[in-house]
Structure 1
Amino acid sequence: MFLLSFSPTLAEIAAHSGYDYVVVDMEHGHGGIPKKALDLGPQGIMFPMIESRKDATKAVSYCRFPPEGIRGSAHTVVRASKYGIDEGYLGNYADELLIMCQVESAEGVKKADEIAAVDGVDCVQMGPLDLSASLGYLWDPGHKKVREMMRRAEKAVLTSDPEKGGAYLSGFAMPHDGPAAIRERGYNMVAGTVDIGLFRNAAVEDVRRFKMGLVNESDGEDSLDNGKDVDDEKYWSE
């Protein structure tokens, strides 16, 4: 799940619901944590719009302390190290952080093999909507040319061997390209929904059902059974 609402409550519900991972989206979502994300202690971080080996290398450098990178150090007091209580943090922080680079433009697709091969890049995340926009098909992410570019990038990542320093493949399930389909093509991680989308759909449906109930009542139809809405149990369980 991608979490755009920046709601701790929804994040906690998602965790208890059984999702394998939740991405807190600070690119399109409402929240923002400039320069503090890694110090909070996430298990992974995703960089948007990576288009070259240089971009990917720079992204990795932001996640590594000197001399391997340029990440600022306050490891003795930040949450990531349990505020300094975790004495082994510096020895294992790099191994325990998942670094994901998004390929979501035509230029990025051309360099997908180079991006996947950068040391430290654990996963390449495909971005179908931005890719469709870069190709001129913002309103049609399922267009044949967009699908062709997606397949090209997928193959480039899949031919990189994670056991030899290559990256895994990750992506979004879409209405025209469901989770089963992309899993069959070799995706290792699949994002299937967005919290805002789930709530939007539930809210719209809730209003629709409420209005339909008013219409039925005005028509004189009895929708009650011994004082209880016949659909009450289903309603509250959703």
Structure 2
Amino acid sequence: MPDYTNRFKKSLKEGRANIGLWISLPTAFTTEICATAEFDWMLLDGEHTPTDPLTIMSQLQACAAYNTQAVARPPIGETYMIKQLLDLGVQNLLIPMVDTPEQAKELVRAVRYPPHGIRGVGYGSARVSRWDSRKDYVKGANEEVCLLVQVETATGLGNIDAICAVDGVDGVFLGPSDISAALGHLGNPGHPEVVAEIERCIAIVLKHGKAAGILTPDRNLAKRYLELGCTFVAVGADARILALGARELRAAFPS
């Protein structure tokens, strides 16, 4: 029987740094290409891409043969979307636009079976239980899930201390692009005011004993956030790698 231990969640609890890659191309083919690099984690993005649950399932299958952990992001933290992803076998969820502790508490309930939550029970016909071959799945299901929430709006930033205090939230991801917009620096996540706010939030997340995460293609900033204690840091995105590589190659042969 395969080992279903959530290695990503375990690593975060142990405080180890995990370097990630953003996957925005909605196909298992390029996901598997990226998986060969064996980043510690890869974010399957359903918020800003046309990626849907069936695509995420194929991406999970593409990742399975490699030493990388998948984290899935739905477009919004709706209970039915979370249920679908969990039943597909997603162990790690990143929920965008979490603004209040009440919202965070509802997300915790959404990833847990009763009596501790409201997750619907349908594992017998789902991929997560290997179609009922995992007879003990429900016994440890609640503990298998790693719930990460994104704080990225002015409201969320104001409530970050209370959000971090919610039991069942495993980590907080700080969305630099939206934070820069919230602070009046749209398109400039490296602005000193944005960086200072992110650093303030990292300290609050760590104070609560939660994992702090972020995405930045700026290598110096990525190293800075790792030094400050972030334990899940995405350092690039597949679409950006492809675009920059293609343009660099073309520029080498001007016509």
Between the aligned partners of 2:148 and 2:27, the Cα distance in structure 1 is 22
**Structure 2 counterpart of 1:9, one-letter code:** F
In the other structure, the counterpart of 1:115 is 163
Alignment of 1:52-71 (within 5 A): 52-71=100-119
1:189 and 2:232 correspond: yes
Q: Percent identity?
A: 30
Give matches, 1:120-139, under 5 Å. 120-139=168-187
Q: Which amino acid aligns with 2:198?
A: M
Which residue identity lines up with residue 241 of structure 2 in the other structure? Answer: L
Structure 2: how far apart are the matches of 1:77 and 1:16? 31
Q: Could you report, residue by residue, the CA deviation over 1:10-58 in whole angstroms, capped at 9, with x for unpaired residues?
A: 2222222111111110001221237221111012011001111111111
Which gives a bigger RCO, structure 1 or 2 (Cα 8 Å, sep 6+)?
A: 2
Structure having the higher Rg: 1
Alignment partners' CA distance in 1, 2:91 and 2:43: 10
Structure 2 match to 1:100 = 148
Aligned to 2:244: 201
Aligned residues: 207
Alignment partner of 1:40 is 2:88: yes
The 5-angstrom pairing of residues 1-238 of structure 1 reads: 1-33=21-53, 35=81, 36-161=84-209, 167-175=210-218, 177-209=220-252, 211-212=253-254, 215=255
Q: CA deviation at 1:206?
A: 2.4
Structure 2 stretches lacking a partner, 5+ long: 1-20, 54-79
Q: TM-score, normalised by structure 2?
A: 0.77
Q: Which residue of the partner structure matches residue 230 of structure 1?
A: none
> 1:130 & 1:27 partners in 2: Cα distance?
13
TM-score (norm 1): 0.82
Root-mean-square deviation (CA, aligned residues, Å) is: 1.6
Structure 1: gaps spanning 5 or more residues? 162-166, 216-238
Distance 2:215 2:187 in 1: 17
